[in-house]
């Protein structure tokens, strides 16, 4: 989670708590995050440096209006637009999702593998992480063929890299440290 994303996310959640709007804000953030993930067009517009700030703000505001987002969420996103930080919207949404999950006793775990893993593996991993974190685990399954094999698991800021590409890299470093040439 980026520092900028965390800062905006914390500020929004603090305001939501103060105004008794936590649930609606979390619901709106989930809807906006889903719209962001589903719409390549929206991501393309927001990330396009040529589009004037006012047009970006109007586009994102139209999306939030269609989603019926609360005033707090709209004001936060408009503040990002005013400060020229709308390109960081994804970071803020990601930070908000993580903070919202923590607030509701859940933790997001990214599981990245070269190929799909069995449901039994995911079930065992979920159960183990639930015992370790004492939180409800929300698995986010991703694939990355560059890993060659193995699994990378990310829980918050902690990364457990059990990928084959990482193991090969570690082996290479060990060999080089011991005076062997590749």
| pLDDT computed for residue 1 by the predictor | 59
Instruction: Give the number of residues written for the chain.
Output: 182
Q: Chain centroid to CA 152: how far?
A: 16
Q: What is the pLDDT of residues 81-126, one digit of tens each?
A: 888 887 788 888 888 878 877 777 888 888 999 888 899 999 999 9
| pLDDT computed for residue 87 by the predictor | 78
Q: For the chain, which residues score pLDDT lower than 50?
A: none
CATH of 105-177, one of 3.40.30, 1.10.10, 3.30.43, 2.60.40: 3.40.30
| pLDDT computed for residue 166 by the predictor | 67
Q: Cα angle vertex 39, ends 105, 15, to 5°?
A: 40
User: Is the distance from CB of 155 to CB of 133 less than 8 angstroms?
Assistant: yes
> Burial, 24: exposed, middle or buried (Cβ in 10 Å; 0-12, 13-18, 19+)?
middle
The class that CATH gives domain 3-102 is: mainly alpha
Tell me the Ramachandran region of residue 149: left when phi exceeds 0, alpha when psi lies from -120 to 50, beta otherwise: beta
Q: Where are the alpha helices (DSSP H) in the chain?
A: 3-18, 22-38, 40-47, 53-66, 71-82, 89-103, 119-133, 164-177
Domain coordinates in residue numbering, the chain: 3-102, 105-177
| pLDDT computed for residue 124 by the predictor | 93
């Amino acid at each position: 989670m980026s520092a900028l994303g965390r800062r905006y996310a914390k500020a929004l959640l603090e305001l939501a708590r103060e105004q008794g709007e936590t649930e609606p804000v979390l619901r709106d953030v989930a809807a906006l995050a889903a719209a962001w993930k589903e719409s390549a067009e929206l991501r393309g517009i927001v990330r396009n440096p040529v589009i004037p700030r006012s047009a970006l703000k109007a586009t994102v505001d139209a999306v939030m209006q269609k989603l019926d987002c609360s005033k707090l969420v709209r004001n936060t996103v408009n503040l990002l637009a005013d400060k020229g930080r709308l390109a960081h919207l994804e970071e803020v949404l990601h930070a908000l999702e993580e903070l919202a999950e923590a607030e509701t006793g859940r933790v997001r775990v990214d599981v990245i593998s070269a190929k799909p893993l069995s449901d039994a593996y995911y079930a065992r991993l979920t159960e183990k992480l639930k015992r370790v974190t004492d939180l409800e685990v929300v698995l986010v399954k991703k694939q990355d063929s560059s890993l060659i094999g193995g699994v990378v698991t990310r829980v918050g800021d902690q990364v457990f890299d059990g990928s084959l590409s990482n193991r090969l890299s570690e082996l290479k470093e060990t060999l080089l440290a011991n005076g062997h040439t590749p």
